[in-house]
Structure 1
Amino acid sequence: MKNSCQLKVFRRIFFGVFIFASFFLAQNAFANPSGTLPEFVSSDKVLVLAPQPDDETIGVGGAIQRAVKVGAKVKVVLLTNGENNLFAFIVYKKHPFLGRKDFLRMGEVRRQESVKAMTWLGLTENDVISLGYPDRGTLEVMARHWDQAGPFRSALARAEKVPYPGAMSPGAPYSGESILKDLERILSDYKPTKIFVSHPADANRDHRALYLFLRVVLWNLDGKINVPEIYPYFVHTSGWPKPRGYNPTLKLIPPPIFSESEIGWLTLLLAPEEVTNKYNAIQDYPSQIKYAPKFLISFARENEFFGDYPVVNISREMSIDKVLKGQSKPRSVLSYAREGSDLLVRITLKRRINKKLGVSLSLLPYKKGTLFASMPKVEVKVGLGGLHVKDQLRGVALKGVRFGSHGNEIEFRIPFAILGDPDYILSSAKTALKDLNVDEMAWRVLSLER
């Protein structure tokens, strides 16, 4: 009997220690990133690119304060006004939203929230630039709305052009050219030394889109401005950050999807006063806090982190067997290679391929000296209907595109001629069961050896 009681006590102690150790390891898995964010200096010109109002605060609120403190200039650019967050608005206003004007009115509310929040971080309304492009639509614009394809139409706000009089280019069509033009103008005039931008692996599609637009703008301005330092920040993935709520003494660590990634994370440790100011700034977004009261304040912690995937250099000798560590298992993985005049892309899925699973590969090529708007925007799909290739919204002839599959791997072969013989390619892939996305892989930058 005595031995039985001792065994029960031992088990309780063991499992208590195990649970504590598991939590400690989870909290410290990224406690020692590869480096610290470089110090700001008074000559810095910092540009913060935010997909929706509030991202600038939760992702970069500490960095903004640190830059202002040393006398650096800081500008914040809002890609969208965040007008399509239907459920948040219903909770905030406590009544249903039906009309176009309701959504546009809430977009202006969100812009004003950002302006007010910036005062906690040391900025004024003159430091905030609103572009007013379609919330939850900018990745669609990047992939499908260029040149002669026509503007994107926002579903809830029912707009095809920038509807806000106070935006940088009111009345500009919802097209890729419009977004590029605004961002190029900002970078050309401001000439930033450091740019903070949303992450290419973020679950929010506008976050991914802003990163892609920035990449194209920087290629377009190559040789015209000094190359700025780029620091992507991460906001959205399922079940993160943990624990939810205000925990100012806890570290903010990258989510598990990055546990095997190639990213060298940089961290910025915040002073207690900076954490408090960031928390107070977050409180100035009531339209979002009422809907998800514990999410935004989860980012008011003792640090911020930043990091990007390295550029994938596709040489003539690179083997397709070289796997890119983009996101951790069991996420799907992309691999790239070059064979003669073809690009080879292998997608290793987290599940075996079956008839219900559709696979989509996106390729956005860039060629020096050629307008990006006129370059192909290719999507290759494999599913129940076989193989389909689109350039923006238009179906195109297969022209040598091939694919094969085995087990949980699918391999595409795409002639570079279809891609316009590019210097760079922005690439991603996703899997879906019918219309439900199963896995959406991070966007990567491919650099092709000439």
Structure 2
Amino acid sequence: MGDLSYMGKILVIAPHPDDEILGCGGTIARLAKAGAEVVVAIVTRGMAPQFSDEFVAAIRAEAKASHDMVGIAETRYLDLPAAALETVPATKLNGTLAKLVQDVRPDTIFVPFVGDIHTDHQLTFLAAMVAARPRDTHAPQRIYAYETLSETNWYAPGITPAFVPNVFIDISETLELKLDAFRCFESQVKQFPDERSIEAIRALATMRGASMYLGAAEAFMLIRQIDRL
């Protein structure tokens, strides 16, 4: 596989645990195998009474197993309310992600797509873009939006923003690792033909790959690229 070292230090921002694996688990594994430092930030956590502490602990244990499998260097939990980001003042959400970006100082950021059906995904994208504003030389040089099965393709195409990828990363050698990492999320794996099934994840990777004459790929939209001297 080609060299992805130009991406430098990586920050993957995920609204919920498992979005990072669904959206770019194969790319994360490929980067980590090549020695890149990959930090994942999970924006939300389940809050009582809708989610018990036991459920949250179980999900985080699944995430740890998954992240260890693909070689994620660090996982950060921002602990904002899941399925309720719209209740968080914009100043708090923006400030939380701004602090994250300032602390990590990534060269490349992966974010959810603004056109996802889940409001948490939309608000995470917007806050990430505020946090990544190019206001100094430490601003991220690349921002990619990833696609998340059951979120990116379930809104209203033609009315809401459409995911039209223009970056494809070959994951032929890490697809099986991505699938194994998603299997770690036992509470989230569904039976086919649900989109969050192993078969559907494999099918999307195969289709994205074949469209570029690759065995398997993950697709992204390039949001911003800065080529500095």
Pairwise TM-score range, normalised by the shorter structure: 0.7 to 0.9
For 1:113, what is the secondary structure of its paired residue? helix
Cα drift, residue 223 of structure 1: 1.5
1:228 corresponds to 2:177: no
Q: TM-score, normalised by structure 2?
A: 0.77
- Aligned residue number for residue 299 of structure 1: 201
Q: How does 1:257-406 map to 2 (within 5 A)?
A: 257=157, 263=164, 265-271=166-172, 273-289=173-189, 294-296=194-196, 297=198, 298-300=200-202, 301=205, 302-307=216-221
1:187-243 per-position Cα deviation (integer Å, ceiling 9, x unaligned): 112211110000000111111111000111123x612523320000121557959xx
Cα drift, residue 108 of structure 1: 2.4
Cα drift, residue 103 of structure 1: 2.5
Distance in 2 (alpha carbons) for counterparts of 1:71 and 1:46: 11
- Contact 1:47–1:192 (CA<8 Å) still a contact in 2? yes
Distance in 1 (alpha carbons) for counterparts of 2:30 and 2:12: 13
Over 3 Å counting, the alpha-carbon distance change for 1:185 and 1:240 in structure 2 is closer
Query: Which one has more relative contact order, counting CA pairs under 8 Å at least 6 apart?
Result: 2
For 2:132, what is the secondary structure of its paired residue? helix
For 1:72, what is the secondary structure of its paired residue? coil
Match for residue 53 of structure 1 among 11, 14, 17 = 17
Q: TM-score, normalised by structure 1?
A: 0.41
Distance in 1 (alpha carbons) for counterparts of 2:223 and 2:110: 14
Identity %: 24
- Contact 1:68–1:74 (CA<8 Å) still a contact in 2? yes
| Higher-Rg member (1/2) | 1
- Aligned residue number for residue 183 of structure 1: 97
User: What's the RMSD between the two structures over aligned residues?
Assistant: 3.2
For 1:288, what is the secondary structure of its paired residue? coil
- Contact 1:41–1:72 (CA<8 Å) still a contact in 2? yes
Distance in 2 (alpha carbons) for counterparts of 1:233 and 1:43: 15
- Contact 2:37–2:72 (CA<8 Å) still a contact in 1? no
- Aligned residue number for residue 213 of structure 2: none
- Aligned residue number for residue 117 of structure 2: 203
Match for residue 136 of structure 1 among 83, 88, 113 = 83
Cα drift, residue 180 of structure 1: 2.7
Which residue identity is paired with 2:124?
Answer: L
Q: How does 1:27-38 map to 2 (within 5 A)?
A: none
> Unaligned 5+ residue runs, structure 1?
1-37, 85-98, 146-175, 242-254, 311-450
Over 3 Å counting, the alpha-carbon distance change for 1:238 and 1:101 in structure 2 is closer
- Contact 2:62–2:185 (CA<8 Å) still a contact in 1? yes
Over 3 Å counting, the alpha-carbon distance change for 1:39 and 1:199 in structure 2 is farther
1:67 corresponds to 2:14: no
Match for residue 194 of structure 1 among 100, 108, 125 = 108
- Aligned residue number for residue 118 of structure 1: 67
Over 3 Å counting, the alpha-carbon distance change for 1:286 and 1:227 in structure 2 is closer
Distance in 1 (alpha carbons) for counterparts of 2:51 and 2:192: 21
For 1:128, what is the secondary structure of its paired residue? strand
Say which structure is richer in strand. Answer: 1
Cα drift, residue 263 of structure 1: 4.2
